[in-house]
Structure 1
Amino acid sequence: MSLFKHLFSALVLICSFSALAFTPSASQIEQFKKLPKSQQQALAKQYGVDLSVITGSSQSSNQPQVEEPTIGPRLVQQEQAAKAEPAKQNPNTVKPFGYELFAGEPTTFMPSETAAVPDTYLVGRGDQLLINFYGKESDRFEVIVDREGRISIPNLSPVQVAGLTFAEVKELIKVKVEQEIIGVKVFVSLGQLRSMRILVLGEAYKPGSYNVSSLTTVSHALFVSGGVSDIASLRNIQVKRAGKVVANFDLYDLLIHGDSSNDITLKPGDAVFVPSVGAQVKVEGLVKRPAIFELKKGETAKELLAMAGGLKPGAYTKNAVVERFNNNRKEVLTVDFSANSINYIPQDGDRVRFNTISSQYKNSVNLVGAVVRPGSYQWHQGKRISDVLKSVRGDLLPQADLSYGLLVREININGDIEVHQFDVALAIIKNSENDLALNANDKILVFSEFEEKQDEKLTLAATGSGTKKDTSIEQAATQGENSNQLSAASYTPYSRNNLLAPIIKKLKRQASTEQAIQLVEVNGSVTYPGVYPLTIGGEVADLVTAAGGLLESAYTKQAEITRMVDGDASKVEHIKIDFDQVVNGNEQNRIALQSKDSLNIFAIPNWQENVKVTLKGELLFPGTYTIRRGETLTNLLERAGGFSDFAEQKAAVFIRQSVKQQEQQQLARLTNELRRDVASKSFQDSINSSTLSYDEMNKLLNDLADVEAVGRLVIDLPLIVNNQQNLVLQDGDTLYVPSKRDSISVVGEVNYATTHLYKAGISVDDYLKLSGGLKERADDDRIYIIKANGSVKIPNTGSWFAVNNSEQLEAGDTIVVPMDTGHMDKLTLWSTATQILYQLGVAVAAIGSL
């Protein structure tokens, strides 16, 4: 102690002569700082020096002192290994429980000076008491309990306080002052507490002797020693006093239950001994606190589960997996943790894993389709469809099909299914025939009354294709991407196509030699022809309802069922039925369906839908007309009042949808053929300057692929009007009658493609010169004329530039100069492609001019 006093004296002298160049070394200041604060303050008071001058602290003595941290960063071995090899560390690795509490390293072992002192604190030698007099006299004294256990208060006799509690000392001093000094009251508090020396031994992180506060408990002793090592026991920490164990501290009680009753206050000379870890069991999976837990002797499986915080809701308790080392071998046990008495005693090295329960619901029914709240619902005995679907407006979407619903039921352990059909609306109002009783795991399907999305319907209507292609039973599960069916994205989410697809696949998979495939087919005049499940007790009327009902064109007097005789595909019979009698007749007339039955609903003979034809241009009454079947263009023109005075009948353009589809298919086929030919010849004659470049060919191919067909049917309208030709109209036909023409157009391989004013007597050669003449790659031997009515004129003379070629031109005609195919590596398809492009362009121009 005298050494530190000399050190302090030197520091004081240096501070007094601060003008000199002498400064204390860092090691000297550091040695002084290692002294307890009580000793630092005592020395500073003795020599009358401000302690902040030496320590560098600017904290005022009037300000409350902030307790310095006693624990700093600590890198345990696992963290060091994780830094060395981060890629090999698994974030889901289960770690020993409780050790992370000591993930720190001690920085100072100073006793806490700001902690509250309880009344049960035993006052001992070295404690400082702060005594304040008030009343008749006011004074303040700082007294220290001497080695004899006494305190000496000025003007009062010494008092023996060592071994008394703080509450007893306060009461003793109060009584003594009131007896010996009249009119004075006293207030007593503890100042600097005594420090004491303890030992922390065993599997501590830094075992050794520590100078700690007299308030230090077992847990504080563990903290100041840096915690425990990786193999330390947390369950049996011993406090030894004079060679005897006075307390056993179980850290699990503190960490899990918050019980600090055994965290006793230490006394001078106590030894805290941390033994090595005992039996350990790893608990992982669906528990709230997965970790490696230390077990005491005799602890049960329930206590182990409580250490892990209990099970998560999704844990499967009936079959917990226990891996155990037994006689140098590893074995697996299955333990039922749901039982009242768990037949499992944990052993050292066990690994307990709780797996998840099945994702499938138990005792539930599933609601799917066009409903407001799809999902799983509770099932109980006697529950019916009306208990799940209670209201049309409250439980169903507006587009729900109220006449068709399915109930899919599992019938065996293999998951095989059977299908029941019901009327959704009747089931909701509790009709006994349709309000089916439910079983556990049943699935209720409610369909949309729409099959395709609205934009897809409009596209199909524009192209003239149907809404759904008939599908045979054999093709139902084998349709690929190249089929003519609509794409999956074109169907509404709850369409028959989407909801029935998995059911049809399941029925096909479960078919065998013992049970025929439970599928039937309907074709003809129904809303949604196709393949449907054969429901339990299914009849012809049920199949028609499943297909969305009859179309307006359906012939109800007769229908046909195609059926295999005794399941033999080589023997087929055709059953003619009176549809009205079968559907609306008595029970005897009804026909039950069988596996692979195919129902065909005929259309009314000579039935036609609402057929419309459009007239545009120079007519007295243009517009859209509804026609009867077999009506001719001549009849329709009479109904339209004939032509106006400005009509150019020879230039009329007639558009037909069937022709448009054929042209579009021809364009697509021609484009594909050209692409193949260009690809095969792209590396040939690359140096020949007479060939087209790849960019030119690719541009022409792209133009050809982007062209939309017009569907022009070439007609001679004057002949039709004069009844010399007959044209029967079809649905979607359009007639464009332009006004009189007075121009000639020149297109193709000319230097300036344009339109010229028609003048009688001007020849083709003259019009070509007016357009700047021919380009180098023009084929002057194949120049042709597209007449105003769309026909192509080829002269009979050997030369295009004969004297009489002017007689071949009329107002509204177009002169076409094609490209020489020799510039395109002799690809013979180019001439066809360019001809189609020119003809389509002329037709579009004629329509656009109206």
Structure 2
Amino acid sequence: MRKLITAIVLFIALFQTSTLMAQDILKGNDLSTVRVDYLSDGDIAKIKTQLQSNNVTIDQAESMVLSKGMSATEFAKLKKRLALPTASKATADKTATKKKNADSENEEGDDDSGRKQEKIVNKKVKDSLNSLVFGSELFDNPTLNFEPNLKLATPVNYVLGPGDELQISVNGVQEFSDNVPVSVEGKVTIQYVGQISVSGLTIEAATQKIKGAISRVYSTVRSGQSQVGVSLSRIRTIKVTIIGSRQPGNYSISSLATVYNALFLGGGPGKNGSYRNIELIRNNKVYRNIDIYRFLVSGNQSDNVGLKDNDVIRIPAYTNRVTVEGEVKRPGIFEMKKGEHFSDLLNFASGFNEFAYTASVNVLQKTGKEFKVADIQAAKYGSYTPLNGDVYRISKILNRFENRIVIKGAVFRPDTYSFYQGMRVSDLIRQAEGLKEDAYLKRARIVRLKADLTTEMVNVDLSKVMAGDFNADLGLKKEDVVTVYSILDFKEEYTITIDGEIKRPDVYDYQDNLTLNDIIVAAGGLTGSASKRVEIARMIKTENIDDANPNRVELFNIEITPDSNEQATNFELKPFDVINIRRMAVVEKPEMVTIYGAVAYPGKYVLANKKEKIYDVIKRAGGLISTASLNGVKIKRPIKASQIEALENVNLNLGKKDSIQKKLEKKLKEDLKYATIPVDWSKVSKKQNSNANVTLLPGDEIEVSTFNETVKVAGNVLLTSEIPYVSGKGFNYYLDAVGGVDAKGWRKKAYIIYPNGQAAVSHPVLLFFRSNPTVEPGSQIIVPEKPETKKMGAGEWVSIASVLVSMGVLLVTALKP
């Protein structure tokens, strides 16, 4: 009981000391009894706050804290606790930390199995020097890294060493779990069990040894009530050296890594490195010779053995390399070993492709002084030994056929067929499914290739061949091309042309017994404006020249019934006849003009006759209403495509680079859709037979403006505005009313547009005096912009002055007596 009370008192004393220390670490006098392990996260947070409020770091406070009695061990614990995040911060950062760990897969290479391994990164460099060497692509592809799979079960023959970490667990009646590292002495320390030496043991042997040691401490393990589990939780890193690779050096890799993994990290063999005689040196002896071709050609990974610490991979220089070019499936540079033959080389190159000439192979060889060429026959492929530097060229097969024969023309299956000895024309025709009905039987053609590769033509009478005449049924040779003609090939393509008042005028094929009624129906029938008159022109055929008859064609005039598209006597047509369906003498569709604005009845009006005047149409529209402007009548006439085309055909001789004509054409096409015709209505209403009474054309638009009591002033003036009309006032009055002309305005080129579309400009009358046009209500005064002119610079003025001075000097000199 006394011991219990003493323990409680001691605990309370320690807790109070820790609390005092947490409340004021800088002001406490005795810190010798402080135990950092008993401080809560809240106490640590208070200490952090206290240090921050005094602007002191824990390192700066070290000497003071140690002088007040805190041991160095406790101070180290305190410093470690202060460096860790508090519970609140840890909670806040928990999600972010998990995400970071998931993205980076931990700096030490965690995987789903819980096993860890230091992350090994090696930047790959494209091998441009060895790009043609077979096997070099194996070490350029980043997806082929040969890294060991940490999720697989630990190999039973895996040998433990310093740096490994074991997860040891006891499950059952008694439970225990801990991760224990293998120390540099090769031992693991298990709580309550002690140290066990495992270095140099396989994982299987180490497991049995650990189970035996644990069973001596845990009685339930001996009785079988608890089970012991041993697994590899962290894999050590080993050091290997690679010599002769593209990136030679010392590499730290996983103890589970293999030779191919190390070769990949080293970039593969160097420029002159061997791919077939790589040495794995262990304990200063060649442990294994590695041939990468075994893996590349057949997928055999027997050479991909595991590595141990301080292994050396030596890549010597190659002894024998040859080159394969041309028609093989995998051309390139290949390394050959002693005892291998050309057939092995073909296997490395994946064999000939489908276009290769396989009977023999040409090889370019190097002697001690010069080159030489040799041919290897197919029978020697298995015995020929390639020499260093050989270049094998596999050529294409010839573009010719051993047994080809061709038939084309008027047969049912024109094509290429196989030739055989004794083959005749009738045999080939039977293979082509026989002659067509249009076949020309009098003659067929055979184009034959002679021995000197020139051609000759042989004619065949097919009528005799089909009748069974053996002498006419000629024997064929390979490469013969047989052509069977068609009677349609000799027939001219006859046509008939129909034009005029027909719905589908065109050129039509001629057939025997074709009549005029047939072609009219084929062309869609007559239009509504077709007359009963039809003219047919027929060419004249004769062997004799008749100078007295100048006619080039024979003309036929025929009458038909337009309503039924038929004629009383059906006229038979001949090849190349030209038919013209005439139009009725009088066929005029009603055409209209449009009138709008200040008239009684605006709208569209049909032109009653071809010479309808504007006065007549306005009267039909009810005349002008009271609000109409007598000076506001104008005609807007659509610009026709023919007018634009005529302008395009006119050569203004402005030069190739001048754009005036192009701008004018563009304005007519895109901007101006109508030409304006001003009408003097006062003159028209008094005298209808005057020139002012314009004759209208279909599509014209008549615009009658409403009377406007203002004058609009626009362009380069200070204020664009409409000024009330004042009788008797001229240009200057209205220009002054809007503030006058601005800096860019061209006053003397100002013009006026009257309501009827007519324009007028001011013009000089005497010296500096100008006559301005009369201003009327509804008019519009426009002030254009001055054209830009290039001003002379100071240098130009100096040049002119110098010329004037020179002329003055010459003049004075000339006038001297």
Q: What TM-score, normalized by structure 2, do the two folds share?
A: 0.45
For the pair shown, the structure with the greater C-alpha radius of gyration is 2
